[in-house]
Amino acid sequence: MFNLKKSVATVVAAASVGGFLGAAPGQAQTLNVVMHSDLKILDPIWTTAYIVRNHGYLVWDTLFAMDDKLAVQPQMVDKYEVSPDKLTYTFTLRDGLEWHDGKPVTAEDCVASIKRWAAKDSMGQSLMARVAGMKAVNDKTFTLTLKEPYGLVLQSLAKPSSNVPFMMPARVAATDPNTQIKPEDVIGSGTFIFKRDEWKPGEKTVYVKNPKYKPRSEPASGLAGGKVVKVDQVVWRSVGDHQTAVNALLAGEVDMIESPPHDLLPLVAKDKNIKLFNANPLGSQYTFRFNALHKPFDNEKVRQAVLYAFNQKDFLNATIGDPKWYKECKAMFICGTPLETFKGWEDKLNSNFDKSKALLKEAGYDGTPVVLMQSTDLAVLTNLAPVAKDLMEKGGFKVDMQAMDWQTLVSRRAKKDPPDKGGWNAFLTSWVAADVLNPVMAGFFNAGCDKAMFGWPCDAKIQELRDAFAKETDPVKQKALAEAVQVRVTEYPTHVHLGQWYAPFALRKNVDGNVQAPVTVFWNVTKK
C-alpha cells in the first residue's frame, strides 16, 4: 500500500529494497504521478470529468487529433477523402491497429464508437444531426454521408477534450451512452493498458505500456503525431492532502504533480530539483452552471440575477491568488482567440447587488434555497463555491452549500432529481480553453433540453444560432453568430464564465518530454 504520509526516511528505506521510488536495473521504469483527482469513473463518454478524460487518453485512441497549433491531423486514420459535393467522407484506418485484447481495430468499431460518443457530446450531436448515414465498407474503411455540407466534420472527430470521441470495440460501444461501461470493458488501442486488477480507488491507478502500439511517424505535437511511450508504466497515486503531495514531490517520492495548489507554487519553485511547466498556454475558464429544471433556476430572471451578483476577480483571487496565473475576461469564448468579444456582458459580472435583488423581486423569488454543490478535494475548485455563496447571498439569494468530493459531485450532477431529493441547483467547474473556443464545441452552450448537458437548458434561439454557426464558413460571419450566442446567454443564461486561469505541472527535473497540450498525456515523457 502506498501511503504518502509515511516519513521520508521510511519511504527512502523502502525504495532501497525495490519500492516505488526508482527503477533498479532490470525493473520496470515507473512514473509516479499525483493527478488533480482520484479516478472512480472509467467511462469517458458517460462523464465530462477531466480525470476520466485523462484516463481515456491513456487507454483509447482517436481518429483525428489537434496538434499544438490546434490544427486537425490524422491519428488512427491513415487517409481520408471528401467527395466533390462535400457530402461523403471516406476514412481508411492505419495498418497495425489492435485492441488490448489482441483483436484488430475495424471500421465497424469506429462507426459504433462515433455513434455512442455523439449521443452524449454537444459537438457530436451537432454533427449527427447532419449525418444521413455511416457504414463500414470493409474492415479498414468506413464512410460518413451528410445530408448537407458541414464544415466541422474533422474538427468534431478531433475534439480534444470532454467528451472526446475515443474509439472502442463495437461490443463496448454498444453500451447505452447513459450507462457506464464495465471495468472489464476498459479495452482500448491506445498507448497504455489499464491494469484493472491493480485499480484501487482512493489509492492508485496503474497503466502499463502497450507493447503492440505502433506510433505514427510524425513528431509528437499537441495531441497529434507520434505517441512514443518511453516509460514502462504510469501510476496515479491518490493523495488527499495537497501539502502532503508537494512534500512527496520535494522528497522524490513522486515524479510529477499535475495540478499543484497555486499557493504552494513559490515553495515548489524554490527547489533546485523541481521545475514548473505550463502545458496549456490558453489556460482554463471557471464556470458556474445552472440547473434549469428546478426552482429557482427554472426562471430566467432568477438566473440573470446571478450574472449581476457575481464578479470574476473574487473567484480568481480566492482560488488562484497570484495575478501571474489568472486573467479577468468577460469573453465567453476565451480572451486571445478569434471569437473574443465582450458584447452583452459590459454591465454584468460587476457585483451589482441592487440589480440582482431587483431581478429576484421581479421574478417573484420566494426564498427557495439554492442547493450549491461544493467540491472539497480539488485545490483549484474548493474555494469557488464559498465565494459564490457569499456573492449570491449579498444579491438576495438563500444558499444551501453542500460539501462533497469531486467524484461524488460528478455522479450527483448527472441526476435530474429535485434538489431536496438528492439533486442540485448549481455547481462550479472549470473547462480547458480548448473546450470552449466556439458555441458548438463548448458543451454548456447546448440548450437542447434533454439532449443538453447536465443542467438541461432549453432554448430554441440558442440552438438556432449554434446551428447557423456550424454551417457558416466565413470567419467574419462566424464571429457575428458567436457574438449573438453570447448575447442570448445573457437573456437565457445557461452558465456564467468566471475568468481564465493557468496551472503549471510541477515535475522533478529528471522528468522531461511533456508535450504542450490542453490535456495531460504521458507519451513522449522520459524519466532519467
The string of pLDDT tens digits covering residues 65-117 is 999 888 899 999 999 999 999 999 999 999 999 999 999 999 999 999 999 99
**Residue 212 shares a structural domain with residue 353:** no
Per-residue pLDDT reduced to its tens digit, 34-43: 999 899 999 9
**Residue 494 shares a structural domain with residue 511:** no
Would 43 be classed as within a structural domain?
A: no
**Residue 403 shares a structural domain with residue 427:** yes
Identify the band that residue 480 occupies on the pLDDT scale cut at 50, 70 and 90: very high
pLDDT higher at 475 or 249: 249
Would 276 be classed as within a structural domain?
A: no
Give the sheet arrangement for strand 77-82, strand by strand: 77-82, 88-93, 141-146, 131-136
**Residue 417 shares a structural domain with residue 298:** yes
Q: How far apart are CA 166 and CA 353, in angstroms?
A: 44
Give the CATH number, domain containing residue 130.
3.90.76.10
Per-residue pLDDT reduced to its tens digit, 418-464: 999 999 999 999 999 988 999 999 989 999 999 899 999 999 999 99
**Residue 239 shares a structural domain with residue 98:** no
- Domain end position, chosen among 173, 201, 221: 173
Would 250 be classed as within a structural domain?
A: yes
Per-residue pLDDT reduced to its tens digit, 309-356: 999 999 999 999 999 999 999 999 999 888 999 999 999 999 999 999
**Residue 390 shares a structural domain with residue 456:** yes
Q: Can you give the pTM of this predicted structure?
A: 0.81
Would 521 be classed as within a structural domain?
A: yes
**Residue 516 shares a structural domain with residue 461:** no
Average pLDDT, the chain: 93
- Concatenated DSSP letters of 42-57: --TTT---HHHHHHHH
Nearest-CA neighbor of 253 among 264, 237, 240?
A: 237
Q: Kindly state the cell numbers that stand for 478.
A: 462566424
Specify the residue for cell string 449570491. Answer: 392
Q: How far apart are CA 213 and CA 189, in angstroms?
A: 7
Would 277 be classed as within a structural domain?
A: no
pLDDT more than 70, % of the chain: 95
Do residues 292 and 298 make contact, with C-beta atoms less than 8 angstroms apart? yes
> Containing domain of residue 319, as a range?
284-501
pLDDT more than 90, % of the chain: 86
Q: Kindly state the cell numbers that stand for 471.
A: 454551417
Nearest-CA neighbor of 139 among 94, 81, 191?
A: 94
Q: Is the pLDDT of residue 56 over 80?
A: yes
**Residue 343 shares a structural domain with residue 451:** yes
Amino acid residing at 499? G
Identify the band that residue 475 occupies on the pLDDT scale cut at 50, 70 and 90: confident
Give the CATH number, domain containing residue 393.
3.10.105.10
Per-residue pLDDT reduced to its tens digit, 398-413: 999 999 998 899 999 9
Per-residue pLDDT reduced to its tens digit, 186-202: 999 999 999 999 999 99
Do residues 235 and 206 make contact, with C-beta atoms less than 8 angstroms apart? yes
Give the alpha-carbon dihedral of 325, 335, 437, 297, to 10 degrees: 80
Identify the band that residue 27 occupies on the pLDDT scale cut at 50, 70 and 90: low
Would 275 be classed as within a structural domain?
A: no
Per-residue pLDDT reduced to its tens digit, 126-141: 999 999 999 999 999 9
Residue 32 pairs in a beta bridge with 235
Question: Residue 22: its pLDDT value, please?
Answer: 42
pLDDT higher at 210 or 36: 210
pLDDT higher at 71 or 291: 291
Q: How far apart are CA 445 and CA 428, in angstroms?
A: 15
Question: Residue 157: its pLDDT value, please?
Answer: 98
**Residue 202 shares a structural domain with residue 235:** yes
DSSP 8-state assignment for residue 244: H
Question: Residue 7: its pLDDT value, please?
Answer: 31
**Residue 306 shares a structural domain with residue 250:** no
Would 326 be classed as within a structural domain?
A: yes
**Residue 214 shares a structural domain with residue 344:** no
Domain total in the chain: 3
Amino acid residing at 341? T
Question: Residue 11: its pLDDT value, please?
Answer: 31
Q: Is the pLDDT of residue 376 over 50?
A: yes
Give the CATH number, domain containing residue 251.
3.40.190.10
Identify the band that residue 21 occupies on the pLDDT scale cut at 50, 70 and 90: very low
**Residue 68 shares a structural domain with residue 157:** yes
